[in-house]
Amino acid sequence: MRREKAGTRFRLFHRPPWVQPDLAPELVWVSTPSSRMKPGPSDDRMYVIEPIGKDHAYGVRTGPYGTPFLDLPPWPGRIRRPAFPDRSGHFDRLPLDAPEFAQAHAYGCVRFTLDVWESYFGRRIGWHFARDFDRLEVLLRTGLDNALVGYGFMEVGAQHEKDGAVVPFALNFDVLAHETGHLIIYDTIGVPDPTAVGGEYFGFHESAADIAALIAVSHFESLIDSLLEDTSGNLYSFNELDRFAELSATKQVRLASNSVKLSEFAHGWRDEHALSQPLTGAIFDILVDIFQEGLVARRLITRALADLTDAIRHHPEHWTVIQKAFDTAYPGNEERFREAFIEARDYSGQVLAEAWKQLPLDLLDYAEFAELLLAIDRKLSGGRYQQEMMESFAWREIGKVKVGPRLARPDEESHAFSARTIVPEMSNFFPKMTYRERVQVMRGTWRG
């Protein structure tokens, strides 16, 4: 969210620099006043560090004598030199190749995402761990082949490719915004007992995090420009908005615009990320349909073209005709296309924020969430987008198919049963450490 002459300046990439090497980072303003910024960067809500010697992730660990214990922030060891603001308190002058730039970029991505969603929630988004920690600890660890959040922390690693290349997630806006999305949901609806909720809850969580990132990144001015220029406004074409966590120009973690239906999981599921795709796809389709309704209302495209675009999955042979029509409609109407996109983005964000506020902690399923979105649309717009929503949910079989049981135990790729869902009360179930073991853990004189 761009804020002129307020807050603190950062430079952020809306696409990772290894995907588009000639892409310059965009100058953005985050809401934290520059007078409150400190090295790290850090403020009263979060701080970024690059720990030295941290070779383990937060969560449940085993002590030197085999006793499990809960390891949570703050990191007690040494850290690398933090990023310093300039004399005016801003971070937009750091060299792109400096280690400190990655630290500033990580902070900027998290704060930018919070700013976007706080504008839709109409309030400050808190931390679900606020009773124990005032601030979120964001750690950059290139040795970690993952990125995850948990009780008081966000650990940001890197993608390690087979050719030896290391792709740092600290420079990937989608990854950081996705993890921030999990924190937003935990603050909004709470942290459930992982053994007491169904599979659709975990799929919902991953979908919500993806959508939080998608809406947040669509606030970059440069992304809107390139998105519309590249597609002429045909957002069902393969584009940068629907690609999550791009690892290269042709590889990403998953797509928002996908064709996955819920029936693929009727007999069971193994991975919550895959399970999230029908819901993410439905919400992405709704956003695009709202955008196209705005184009029709502005008489930029015809109703017939919008209907043809909606039916493209059933009639892919019409693709060339559709793209040609958008290529004809877009030139000369760039600003009005942009207005329609921003209107659709903001309405979608508002509806989602209202829905997340009202969700129950337990017994959450996709059909229940769909009904809630429909109810909120009726309240906010008088039901203007009911047809688009119902068609999107129906095509994904949401409300028609129930998800089956989990078919395999969670592995290292799962976030449902991980450090993400750990809370301090769990330590009450651990056996007590001996005095000698506690001393070694506190001093960090052992590695485990």
Q: What is the pLDDT of residue 59?
A: 87
Strand 8-12 versus strand 26-30 pairing type: antiparallel
What number is the average pLDDT over the span 231-239? 83
The arrangement of secondary structure in 198-410, i.e. its CATH architecture, is Orthogonal Bundle (1.10)
pLDDT in the model for residue 237: 76
pLDDT, tens digit, for every residue of 284-320?
Answer: 999 999 999 999 999 999 999 999 987 776 667 778 8
Cβ(138)–Cβ(46) below 8 Å: yes
- Average pLDDT (373-389) is 96
What mean pLDDT value characterizes the chain?
Answer: 88
Give the highest mean pLDDT range of 53-57, 215-219, 274-278: 215-219
The string of pLDDT tens digits covering residues 65-80 is: 888 888 899 999 999 9
Question: Which of these ranges, 98-102, 270-274, 370-374, has the smallest mean pLDDT?
Answer: 270-274
Of 17-31, 199-213, 217-231, 403-417, the range with the lowest mean pLDDT is: 403-417
Residue 1 has pLDDT above 60, yes or no: no
Which pLDDT band holds residue 243 (cuts at 50, 70, 90)? low
The boundaries of every CATH 1.10.390 domain in the chain are 198-410
> Within 10 Å of residue 356's Cβ, how many Cβ atoms?
22
- Reported as a pLDDT band with limits 50, 70 and 90, residue 354 is very high
- Tell me the DSSP string of 420-437: GG--GGGGGGSPPPPHHH
- What is the token pair recorded at 258? 């996908």
SS3 sequence, 163-196? CCCEEEHHHCHHHHHHHHHHHHHHHHHCCCCCCC
pTM: 0.92
Which CATH fold topology does 1-191+418-448 show? Answer: Elastase; domain 1 (3.10.170)
How many Cβ atoms are within 10 Å of 18's Cβ, its own excluded? 17
Q: Look at residue 256 in the predicted model and tell me its pLDDT.
A: 67
> What pLDDT does residue 169 have?
94
> How far is Cα 234 from Cα 442, in angstroms, rounded to an integer?
57
Determine the average pLDDT of the residues in 11-35: 92
The per-residue pLDDT for 251 is: 45
Give me the sign of the Cα torsion angle 435, 440, 442, 447.
negative
* Residue 192 CA: distances (Å) to CA of 141, 269, 387: 28, 20, 33
Q: At 436, is the pLDDT very low, low, confident or very high (cuts 50, 70, 90)?
A: confident
| Amino acid occupying residue 292 | Q
Reference 301, options 313, 289, 316, 315; nearest CA is 289
* Residue 419 parent element (H or E): none
Q: What is the pLDDT of residues 122-175, one digit of tens each?
A: 999 999 999 999 999 999 998 898 899 999 999 999 988 788 788 899 999 999
Q: Where does residue 34 rank: exposed (0-12), middle (13-18), buried (19+ CB within 10 A)?
A: middle
pLDDT score of 5: 60
The yes-or-no verdict on residue 418 having pLDDT over 70 is no
Q: Report how far residue 372's alpha carbon sits from residue 232's, in angstroms, rounded to the nearest whole number.
A: 33
Q: What percent of the chain has pLDDT over 90?
A: 64
**Is the pLDDT at 414 greater than 70, yes or no?**
no
Predicted pLDDT of residue 287: 95
**pLDDT digit string (tens) for 174-221?**
999 999 999 999 999 888 766 656 778 889 989 999 999 999 999 999
Residue 391, pLDDT > 60, answer yes
Distances (CA, A) of 357 to 3, 96, 209, 366, 371: 26, 38, 15, 16, 14
pLDDT greater than 50 at residue 33: yes
**Residue 379's pLDDT band (cuts 50, 70, 90):** very high
pLDDT above 70: residue 397:
yes
Better-predicted residue by pLDDT, 424 or 47: 47
Q: Give the pLDDT of residue 3.
A: 44
State the amino acid at position 333 in one-letter form: N
E strands in 193-313:
243-246, 252-255
Which residue, among 81, 116, 129, has the nearest Cα to 101 in the 3D structure? 81
pLDDT category, 249, cuts 50, 70, 90?
very low
Please check the confidence at residue 361 and state whether its pLDDT lies above 50. Answer: yes
Closest Cα partner for 264 from 203, 341, 355, 210?
203
Residues of the chain with CATH 3.10.170: 1-191+418-448
